[in-house]
C-alpha cells in the first residue's frame, strides 16, 4: 500500500503574496531591496567559477522579485540568451519589467515573465539550462517537492543555483523578542519564521537527486539606527513574518523588544546590528560526463604508500612526514 508523504504548512502563502504585492506597489520600494540585490549578485558570481565553455541559453529565475538576478546576470557573460522570471506576486513582475525596459545598457538576453507560485512550480521536463532561486526558498512549505521539480526541469548537466536565509538570521531580534515576551507575558510566543540550517540544505540537494552538490554560508551584518527602522525595512521589502501559527504582536511587545534589542546589541551611539545568514547551494542535473566517486576496492594507492600505515591507536608516528 502506497502512502503519501505529509508535510506541515508552516507558512501562509496567501499572506506572503500579499506582503510582496504591497511592497512592490510602494513607489519607494527599490530602496529597501539592498539585501536581495547583494545576495543575488553574490549568488550569480558563482557562475564565474564555472568553466567558460559552459553556456546557459535558457535561464529561469524563481521568485524573481523586482529583477535582482536579472540585473546580476546582465553584468556578466554567461551565455544566457533568454531569461524567464517567475513570481507569485504580479506587482513584483510588473516592477521588474518596468526596470528592465529602462535599464542602460539593455540586457543582451530576451526577457519573459510568468506569474507562478513557487510551491506550484510547473516547468517542462528537461527544458532549462540554468535555474536560479534567490531568497525565495525560505518561504516554501515543501522544499523537497520544490527541489525535485527544479531538478526535473533541468536538462542533463543543467545547473541550479540557490540562496536562502538560514537559521542564524536575525538572532539578535529573536533574542530581543524572547526577553520581551518573558518580561511582559512570562512565556515565549511565535514571533519569527523558522529557517533551515546548512546541514538541511545539503541533505535536501542530495535527496532531490542533484549531482555534485555544494553548500556554503556567510553572515551579512547590517547596521540600523534602531529596531523600528529594521522592522520597517523588513516590511517594506516584503519580508514580514508569514507563519501560519503566528502570534499577534502588540505595541507593548514591540516597545519591550525594541528596548531589549538596544540594551543587548546597541553600540555607543545607539545603533543596532542585524545578522543575516545566507546559505548558498549549487547542484547539477546528473550527466554521464560528470565526475563520480570510484567504487570501493578500485584504489590504486595503498595506505602504506601514503605513509598512513604508521597510524595506530596511540596516534601518529611523530617522525612521520608526507612522502616527497
Q: How much is the pLDDT for 304?
A: 60
pLDDT band at 106 (very low <50, low <70, confident <90, very high): confident
For the chain, the straight-line distance linking the first and the last C-alpha, in angstroms and rounded, comes to 60
Q: Under a CB-based contact definition with an 8 Å cutoff, are residues 142 and 119 in contact?
A: yes
Q: Where are the alpha helices (DSSP H) in 103-187?
A: 143-153, 171-184
Q: C-alpha cell of 245?
A: 501559527
Q: Is the pLDDT of residue 95 over 90?
A: yes
| Number of Cβ atoms within 10 Å of the Cβ of 10 | 15
Handedness of CA 83, 87, 90, 95 (dihedral sign): negative
Q: How much is the pLDDT for 245?
A: 77
* Residue 107 located in a structural domain: yes
Q: How much is the pLDDT for 315?
A: 47
* Residue 50 located in a structural domain: yes
Q: Which residue has the cell 535527496?
A: 207
Dihedrals phi, psi of 127, to nearest 5 degrees: -115, -10
pLDDT band at 306 (very low <50, low <70, confident <90, very high): low
- Residue-wise pLDDT tens digits, 126-185: 999 999 999 999 999 999 999 999 999 999 999 999 999 999 999 999 999 889 888 766
Dihedrals phi, psi of 225, to nearest 5 degrees: -65, -30
Average pLDDT of the residues in 192-200: 84
* Residue 108 located in a structural domain: yes
* Residue 155 located in a structural domain: yes
Three-state SS for 55? coil
* Residue 118 located in a structural domain: yes
* Residue 239 located in a structural domain: no
Give the residue, 236 or 324, on which the prediction is more confident. Answer: 236
Instruction: Give bridge partners of residue 281 from the DSSP assignment.
Output: 162, 215
Residue ranges making up the domain that contains 153: 16-169+194-226+276-310
Q: What is the domain-level CATH number for residue 94?
A: 3.40.50.150
C-alpha 72/C-alpha 39 separation (Å) is: 10
Q: How much is the pLDDT for 1?
A: 42
Instruction: Give bridge partners of residue 196 from the DSSP assignment.
Output: 166
Pairing of strands 154-165, 211-224: unpaired
- Count up the domains in the chain and report the number: 1
Instruction: Give every CB contact of residue 43 below 8 A, 6+ residues apart in sequence.
Output: 69, 72, 132, 134, 161, 162, 163, 280
Please state whether the peptide bond connecting residue 105 to the residue before it is cis, i.e. omega within 30 degrees of 0.
yes
Q: How much is the pLDDT for 156?
A: 95
The mean predicted confidence, pLDDT, of the chain is 87
Q: How much is the pLDDT for 277?
A: 97
C-alpha 231/C-alpha 284 separation (Å) is: 37
Burial call 125-150: b when 16+ CB within 10 Å, e when fewer: eeebbbbbbbbbbbbbbbbeebbbbb
Q: Which residue has the cell 556578466?
A: 76
Q: Under a CB-based contact definition with an 8 Å cutoff, are residues 193 and 297 in contact?
A: no
Q: How much is the pLDDT for 297?
A: 58
- Residue-wise pLDDT tens digits, 43-70: 999 999 998 888 999 999 999 999 999 9
Nearest to 191 by CA among 222, 215, 227: 227
* Residue 244 located in a structural domain: no
Q: C-alpha cell of 91?
A: 506587482
Pairing of strands 272-284, 110-115: unpaired
C-alpha 181/C-alpha 183 separation (Å) is: 5
* Residue 306 located in a structural domain: yes
pLDDT band at 6 (very low <50, low <70, confident <90, very high): low
Amino acid at each position: 500500500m502506497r502512502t503519501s508523504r505529509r508535510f506541515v504548512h508552516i507558512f501562509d502563502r496567501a499572506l506572503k503574496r500579499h506582503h510582496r504585492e504591497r511592497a512592490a506597489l510602494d513607489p519607494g520600494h527599490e530602496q529597501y531591496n539592498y539585501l536581495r540585490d547583494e545576495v543575488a549578485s553574490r549568488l550569480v558570481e558563482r557562475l564565474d567559477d564555472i568553466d567558460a565553455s559552459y553556456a546557459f541559453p535558457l535561464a529561469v529565475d524563481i521568485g524573481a522579485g523586482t529583477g535582482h538576478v536579472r540585473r546580476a546576470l546582465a553584468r556578466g557573460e554567461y551565455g544566457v540568451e533568454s531569461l524567464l522570471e517567475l513570481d507569485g506576486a504580479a506587482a513584483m513582475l510588473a516592477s521588474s519589467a518596468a526596470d528592465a525596459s529602462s535599464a542602460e545598457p539593455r540586457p543582451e538576453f530576451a526577457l519573459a515573465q510568468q506569474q507562478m507560485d513557487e510551491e506550484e512550480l510547473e516547468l517542462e521536463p528537461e527544458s532549462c539550462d540554468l535555474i536560479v532561486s534567490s531568497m525565495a526558498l525560505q518561504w516554501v512549505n515543501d522544499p523537497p517537492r520544490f527541489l525535485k521539480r527544479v531538478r526535473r526541469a533541468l536538462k542533463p548537466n543543467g545547473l541550479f543555483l540557490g540562496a536562502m536565509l538560514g537559521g542564524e538570521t536575525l538572532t539578535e531580534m529573536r533574542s530581543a523578542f524572547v526577553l520581551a515576551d518573558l518580561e511582559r507575558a512570562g512565556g515565549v510566543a511565535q514571533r519569527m519564521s523558522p529557517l533551515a540550517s546548512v546541514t538541511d540544505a545539503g541533505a535536501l540537494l542530495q535527496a532531490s537527486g542533484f549531482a555534485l552538490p555544494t553548500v556554503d554560508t556567510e553572515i551579512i551584518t547590517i547596521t540600523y539606527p534602531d529596531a523600528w527602522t529594521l522592522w520597517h525595512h523588513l516590511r517594506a521589502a516584503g519580508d514580514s513574518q508569514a507563519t501560519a501559527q503566528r502570534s499577534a504582536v502588540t505595541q507593548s511587545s514591540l516597545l519591550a523588544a525594541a528596548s531589549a534589542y538596544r540594551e543587548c546589541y546597541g553600540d555607543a551611539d545607539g545603533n543596532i546590528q542585524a545578522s543575516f545568514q545566507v546559505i548558498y547551494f549549487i547542484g547539477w542535473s546528473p550527466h554521464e560526463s560528470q565526475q563520480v566517486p570510484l567504487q570501493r576496492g578500485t584504489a590504486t594507492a595503498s595506505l602504506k604508500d601514503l605513509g598512513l600505515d604508521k597510524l595506530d591507536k596511540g596516534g601518529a608516528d611523530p617522525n612521520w612526514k608526507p612522502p616527497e
